Amino acid sequence: MSWNKKNIKDVIFNLNTLDAILPYEDSFFDFVYGISIFTHLSEKMHFEWRSELSRIIKKDGILILTMQGNMFKTILTESEIKNFEADKLVVRGNVKEGHRTYSAFHPDQFMKNLFEEFEVMEHQKSYIDNGKPQQDVWVLRKK
C-alpha cells in the first residue's frame, strides 16, 4: 500500500478491514472487481459485503468477482459435497475469517441468489491449469 501511494499518482488507495464498510459515497463506482475475496468470508459476511458493494456501485455498474465454484468440489468432504449440491455455501472456518486458509465454496445457484439484484453478464466456470483448479469468474451488472 505504501509503495502504491508513493509511486502511483492521482489514485487514492484505501485499506479496508473485514467489516463491510467502505469510505465511498453511494453509487460512486462504475466498475469494481474482487479477486478471491468472498472465498475467505463467512456466509454472513457474504451478504454484508454484497450489500456494501451494491451500495457503492452505480446502476448498470459492473462487478467482477472470482469464487471457488464447481471445480473445487474435488477437495470437499462427502458431507460438504452434499451441502454444495443442495446449493448451500460451504465454509471451512476453523481459522480466522479473512485469512487465506478460511475457505468458502460457491454453488452457482447460491451465487445467483446472493447477487439477485445483479444481472449475470458472464460466468466463466473454473478449470484446471497445470493441475490446479482456477476460480470461477462472475461478471455482474447492477440492475
Residue 97 sits in which domain range?
27-142
pLDDT in tens, 41-59: 999 999 999 999 999 999 9
Grid cell, residue 35, equals 479477486
> Mean pLDDT across the chain, nearest whole number?
95
Strands (E), the chain: 29-34, 57-67, 90-92, 103-105, 118-124, 128-129, 132-133, 136-142
Grid cell, residue 135, equals 476460480
Number of separate domains in the chain: 1
Distance CA 92, CA 43 (A): 11
Does residue 89 lie in a domain region? yes
pLDDT of residue 113: 98
CATH number at residue 62: 3.40.50.150
Does residue 12 lie in a domain region? no
pLDDT of residue 26: 98
pLDDT of residue 94: 84
Q: What percent of the chain has pLDDT over 90?
A: 82
pLDDT of residue 66: 98
pTM for the whole structure = 0.91
Which regions of the chain are under pLDDT 70? Answer: none
pLDDT of residue 15: 86
pLDDT of residue 130: 92
Q: What's the CA angle centered on 68, arms 90 and 116, to 5 degrees?
A: 80
Does residue 107 lie in a domain region? yes
